[in-house]
């Protein structure tokens, strides 16, 4: 492996390549006698800072960090710390191995969640499955791989804020309660000295939300949605939420594999449904039109409403953030995606849809004894209810709203640039695989 001596600068480190087209070269800064030197090992794909020193008459080399994740300044500091330890008689390599072993043995939030559920929640709480659902849905995807001692209160504040923003303040309260309890258990079991969530207040006041859009607001919503500067799948998802009365998270996560446009049916598998029950959602003609338009924006990742950057399903808060930014153009007061579900339910009741059918549309669980033996699908009744709802919205401007979004989807995919974008995303996906 060729070696060369240079004086590192940020610009030089960024530009260095293997010498003479080779596979790997180590560039060294001038060494200080007896305390070693900082080097940069450069291959065709990676750059890694290393530190070479002499201990007991033998040359030793240790990895310092990967560039650009570690900057040159950080590498100099790490090498300086190693030099100081060496001058004091220590062994930098042994300390690095010890630190790495400590990191590998550290408890992650995933580990803590498993211990909390097994040793506290399951033995002591009848509702432990709800704790498990909250952790799997909201906490572990964000913090799961973090070491518990590295988790900071501010990170959890952002996590809770996102849940409130998607229109689920009660869910935010529950998430904080479960996470705070889990970290308190960590303190009691000696895994932590202090919980980062001590004295953290609930983000939302207790009480039922009553916000729904009245008839005038529905007219405004339908008239202006297609004119907003939104990524078309985001606007489409919002209108589908209103037309189907389904949960926001289930709409934005919709996959083509779960949709049959020829049968005008969307099946939410039990693994994806909030209550764990498979749910069939009849698709009215306006929804079929929207999904047909969405096929133009399909990026090959299976998502009906793909994210702009990578083509996978949008994050759950995407529609909530859109409403947060543009609510003044859509209604008189702020509202959330969940308020669209409540709006649809309330107006359907007002136009004569029966309570039992509404419950079936919403996929609510009926705890009555008769419900246990009731295996009728109610597909026909649900379709009739949703078509009645779509007909009502037609009187408020639904046709024009759907047409605008169809045109926007067509405009979004005009030109060769769109095909190039799809190819680029496909290549990124293939490289990641």
Give the domains, in start order, of the chain with CATH numbers: 3-104 (3.30.160.390), 109-188 (1.10.150.130), 215-432 (1.10.443.10)
If you average pLDDT over every residue of the chain, what do you get? Answer: 84
Q: What is the pLDDT of residue 426?
A: 65
Q: What is the pLDDT of residue 151?
A: 87
Q: What is the pLDDT of residue 349?
A: 94
pLDDT tens readout for residues 360-372 = 999 987 655 444 4
Which burial class, exposed, middle or buried, applies to 64 when counting CB atoms under 10 A from its CB (0-12, 13-18, 19+)? buried
The residues of the chain scoring below 70 in pLDDT are 1-3, 21, 32-35, 93-105, 204-209, 366-375, 417, 422, 424-433
3-state secondary structure of 65: strand
Which burial class, exposed, middle or buried, applies to 172 when counting CB atoms under 10 A from its CB (0-12, 13-18, 19+)? buried
Which burial class, exposed, middle or buried, applies to 417 when counting CB atoms under 10 A from its CB (0-12, 13-18, 19+)? exposed
Q: Please give the backbone phi and psi of residue 378, each rounded to the nearest 5 degrees, phi first.
A: 60, 20
What's the pTM?
A: 0.58
Q: Could you say which DSSP state residue 44 is in? A: S
pLDDT tens readout for residues 237-265 = 999 999 999 998 899 999 999 999 999 99
Give 14-18's long-range contacts (Cβ < 8 A, gap of 24+): 14/68, 16/40, 16/42, 16/47, 17/42, 18/42, 18/43, 18/44
Q: How far apart are CA 245 and CA 297, in angstroms?
A: 23
The secondary structure of 167-184 as a DSSP string is T-HHHHHHHHHHHHHHHH
């Amino acid at each position: 492996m060729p070696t060369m001596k240079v004086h590192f600068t940020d610009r030089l480190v960024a530009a260095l390549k293997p010498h003479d087209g080779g596979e790997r070269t180590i560039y060294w800064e001038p060494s200080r006698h007896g305390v070693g030197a900082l080097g940069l090992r450069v291959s065709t794909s990676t750059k890694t800072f290393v530190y070479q020193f002499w201990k007991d008459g033998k040359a030793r080399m240790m990895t310092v960090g990967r560039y650009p994740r570690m900057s040159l300044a950080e590498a100099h500091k790490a090498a300086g710390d190693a030099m100081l330890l060496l001058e004091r008689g220590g062994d930098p390599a042994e300390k690095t191995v010890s630190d790495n072993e400590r990191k590998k043995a550290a408890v992650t939030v995933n580990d803590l969640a498993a211990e909390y559920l097994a040793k506290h929640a399951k033995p002591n709480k009848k509702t432990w499955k709800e704790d498990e659902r909250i952790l799997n849905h909201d906490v572990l995807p964000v913090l799961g791989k973090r070491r518990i001692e590295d988790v900071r209160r501010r990170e959890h504040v952002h996590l809770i804020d996102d849940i409130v923003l998607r229109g689920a303040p009660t869910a935010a309260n529950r998430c904080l309660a479960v996470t705070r309890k889990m970290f308190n258990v960590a303190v009691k079991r000696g895994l932590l000295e202090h919980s980062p969530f001590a004295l953290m207040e609930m983000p939302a006041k207790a009480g039922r939300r009553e916000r729904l859009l009245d008839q005038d607001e529905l007219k405004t919503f339908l008239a202006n949605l297609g004119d907003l500067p939104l990524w078309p799948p985001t606007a489409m998802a919002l209108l589908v939420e209103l037309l189907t009365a389904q949960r926001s998270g289930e709409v934005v996560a919709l996959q083509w594999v779960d949709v049959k446009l020829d049968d005008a049916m969307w099946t939410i598998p039990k693994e994806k449904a909030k209550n764990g029950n498979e749910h069939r959602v009849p698709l009215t003609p306006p929804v079929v039109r929207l999904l047909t338009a969405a096929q133009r924006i399909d990026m090959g990742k299976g998502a009906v409403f793909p994210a702009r950057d990578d083509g996978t399903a949008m994050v759950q808060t995407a529609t909530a953030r859109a409403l947060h930014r543009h609510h003044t153009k859509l209604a008189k007061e702020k509202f959330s995606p969940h308020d669209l579900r409540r709006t649809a339910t309330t107006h359907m009741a007002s136009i004569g849809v029966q309570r039992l059918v509404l419950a079936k549309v919403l996929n609510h669980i009926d705890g009555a004894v008769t419900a246990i033996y009731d295996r009728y699908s109610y597909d026909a009744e649900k379709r009739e209810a949703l078509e009645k709802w779509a007909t009502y919205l037609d009187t408020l401007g639904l046709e024009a709203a759907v047409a605008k979004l169809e045109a926007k989807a067509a405009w979004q995919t005009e030109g060769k640039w769109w095909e190039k974008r799809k190819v680029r995303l496909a290549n990124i996906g293939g490289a990641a695989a």
